Amino acid sequence: MADILKIIFQIIHNTPFWVWLVLLILIKRGSALLAESQVSLGRSCIMPAVFIIWGLDTIVNRFGNPNVLLNFYVVSLIPGFFLSYFLYRNKKFYIRNTVLVCEGSIIPLVIMLLNFLVKYTLNVLLATRPMLYNDFQFNILYGCICGFTIGLFFGGIYKTIQAKKQLFGRKK
């Protein structure tokens, strides 16, 4: 048991400060979305952009098979998108004072934390076993997992775009 705790403390201690800052921002942003809130497509794209940049930087600069990995990443975005779109299928939007508003939901918080946990876990695994950067099968697995979790962001964004077009188109 002490060995496991030692490993956990080593992982936490060796995690860069900015990673903890990202987690804090995710929790804050996700918690705010538990309540009804105004919708901003720009703000909706910030978290996916952070995770995409974090993932692509790792893929392009660290992995032995970045082209193969990127192919699996892009293809895996699609099922992530569809699952997310399915999860958001009942999300309610309306217009208040000429602003698009959506009901609160735990789904964005879960998706953000899932993305963080997956990226963090994979990066800890890579930090403790750097030979995996050149392992072809791990490259494929990494691409699939990262692509799928990033795809989870886009179903909700697409649902928001649809609602905005529908509600503001109907208003005119």
Q: Could you report the per-residue pLDDT of 34-68, keeping only the tens digit for each?
A: 999 998 888 888 888 988 998 899 899 999 999 99
Least Cα distance to 52 among 172, 126, 124, 150 occurs for: 150
DSSP 131: G
pTM of the model: 0.85
Note the pLDDT tens digit of each residue in 101-111.
999 999 999 99
Q: Residue 13: what pLDDT? A: 84
In which region does residue 106 sit, left (phi positive, over 0), alpha (psi from -120 to 50) or beta (all else)?
A: alpha
Low-confidence residues in the chain, pLDDT < 50: none
Taking the alpha carbons of 54, 110, 145, 135 in that order, is the dihedral positive or negative? Answer: positive
As a dihedral over the C-alpha atoms of residue 71, residue 76, residue 81, residue 83, rounded to 10 degrees, the angle is 170
